[in-house]
Structure 1
Amino acid sequence: MKRWVTVKLQPSKEHEKALFELAQATAIIWNRLNYERLKQFKEFGKIDFGTTEKEAYYSFKNWVGGLITSLNA
């Protein structure tokens, strides 16, 4: 049996803006990561998920960390 809970967020205007920016950043990172993996697959015929994940993490950690910090404020 599966169980889930539905939660309705009621953020303030500034939290709403920060959540929107975080969602937008997530989409950008996801697309960039998929593009890098596609290039890797076309070049080598396989994907090294660990390497692409680490590259994405180090490329975007300061950007996303700043967004999360502003969300917690």
Structure 2
Amino acid sequence: MFKDAKDAAFRYLDACPVEVIQRFINRSFRFMSSYRIGLKGQAAEWAVKRQRQHRSVSAGAMMHLDAVLNPAD
């Protein structure tokens, strides 16, 4: 049974283009980075969309988020 599941996993991974897997992994790393610095929900989504670095949420994105969440009076 485990062998069948393992074979199926390899079959499906081989059917998926490498670029798609890489993009998913990079996006996952960005979400982990945003959660690690304390963002949640829509703030994390916004920071991940806004970020420009490879695997983490950039300081620039955090500054923009801070400006949106805490506007100056």
Interval of TM-score (by shorter of Structure 1 and Structure 2): 0.3 to 0.5
TM-score between the two structures when normalised by the length of structure 1: 0.41
Higher relative contact order (CA 8 A, sep 6+): 1
